[in-house]
Structure 1
Amino acid sequence: MQIQTVGILSPGDMGQAIASVLNQNGLKTIAALDDRSERTRQLAAAANIQDVGSLTQLVIESDVVLSVLVPAAAAEVAKEVAEVISNVAKQILYVDCNAIAPQKVKRIAQLIESSGATFVDASIIGPPSRVPGRTRIYASGKQTDEFQQLRNYGLDIRVIGDEIGQASGLKMSYAALTKGLTAIGAELLIAAHRLGLDEQLWEEVSSSQPELAAILTRSIPSMTPKAHRWIGEMEEIAETFKEIGLTERIFYGAADVYRLVKDTSLGKETPEECERNRPLSEIITILSDETAPN
Structure 2
Amino acid sequence: MHIAFIGFGEAARAFVSSLKPLGIGRFTAYDIKQGTAEADPVEAAAAELGVALAEGPVAAIEGADWVIAAVTAASSLEAAQSVEGGLKAGQVYVDINSVSARRKQDTAALVRARGAAYLDMAVMAPVHPRGHRTPVLVAGDHGGAVAEALSRLDFDFRVAGDEVGAATSIKMIRSLFVKGLEAITVQAISAAREAGCFDEVYKSLSGSYKVLGWPEFAEYQFERMMRHGVRRAAEMRESANSMRELGFANGGALADAIASLHDEVGSLGCSVPEGGDLGAIADTVLAARREKG
Does residue 29 of structure 1 match 2:17? no
Q: Does the Cα contact within 8 Å between 2:11 and 2:70 map onto a contact in 1?
A: yes
State the Cα RMSD in Å.
2.3
Give the match for residue 49 of structure 2: 47
**Which residue among 262, 265, 282 is the counterpart of 2:280?**
282
Give the match for residue 138 of structure 2: 139
Q: Deviations over 1:256-276 (max 9, x none)?
A: 10121133132xx6xxxx767
SS for the counterpart of 1:237 is: helix
TM-aligned CA distance change 1:167 to 1:264, over 3 Å: same
Aligned residue pairs: how many? 282
SS for the counterpart of 1:234 is: helix
SS for the counterpart of 1:154 is: coil
Q: Does the Cα contact within 8 Å between 1:16 and 1:43 map onto a contact in 2?
A: yes
Give the match for residue 170 of structure 2: 170
**What is the TM-score normalised by the length of structure 1?**
0.87
Mapped to 1, the partners of 2:95 and 2:119 lie a distance apart of 6
Counting aligned pairs with the same residue, the percent is 22
**Which residue among 246, 252, 266 is the counterpart of 1:262?**
266
Give the match for residue 224 of structure 1: 226
Query: 1:100-139 residue pairs with structure 2 within 5 A?
Result: 100-131=99-130, 135-139=134-138
Mapped to 1, the partners of 2:5 and 2:196 lie a distance apart of 47
Q: Does the Cα contact within 8 Å between 1:22 and 1:154 map onto a contact in 2?
A: no
* TM superposition shift of 1:172: 0.2
Q: Does the Cα contact within 8 Å between 1:221 and 1:280 map onto a contact in 2?
A: no
Does residue 15 of structure 1 match 2:22? no
Aligned amino acid, residue 261 of structure 2: V
* TM superposition shift of 1:133: 9.6
Mapped to 1, the partners of 2:274 and 2:2 lie a distance apart of 35
SS for the counterpart of 2:233 is: helix
Unmatched runs of 5 consecutive residues or more in structure 1 = none
- Structure 1's consecutive aligned runs of 4 or more residues displaced over 4 angstroms after TM superposition are 274-278
Mapped to 2, the partners of 1:98 and 1:144 lie a distance apart of 20
Mapped to 2, the partners of 1:48 and 1:144 lie a distance apart of 30
Give the match for residue 72 of structure 2: 70
Give the match for residue 94 of structure 2: 95
* TM superposition shift of 1:278: 4.5
Mapped to 2, the partners of 1:211 and 1:264 lie a distance apart of 30
Mapped to 1, the partners of 2:131 and 2:253 lie a distance apart of 36
Give the match for residue 253 of structure 1: 257
SS for the counterpart of 1:129 is: coil
**What is the TM-score normalised by the length of structure 2?**
0.87
Aligned amino acid, residue 185 of structure 1: T
Mapped to 2, the partners of 1:190 and 1:104 lie a distance apart of 35
* TM superposition shift of 1:117: 1.4
SS for the counterpart of 1:61 is: coil
Mapped to 1, the partners of 2:275 and 2:79 lie a distance apart of 36
TM-aligned CA distance change 1:290 to 1:169, over 3 Å: same
* TM superposition shift of 1:216: 2.4
Mapped to 2, the partners of 1:223 and 1:32 lie a distance apart of 27
Unmatched runs of 5 consecutive residues or more in structure 2 = none
Q: Does the Cα contact within 8 Å between 2:185 and 2:221 map onto a contact in 1?
A: no
Compare 126-135 and 92-101 and name the one that shifted more. Answer: 126-135
Mapped to 2, the partners of 1:83 and 1:275 lie a distance apart of 48
SS for the counterpart of 2:123 is: strand
Mapped to 2, the partners of 1:80 and 1:162 lie a distance apart of 26
Mapped to 2, the partners of 1:15 and 1:182 lie a distance apart of 25
Mapped to 2, the partners of 1:278 and 1:15 lie a distance apart of 32
Mapped to 2, the partners of 1:220 and 1:154 lie a distance apart of 33
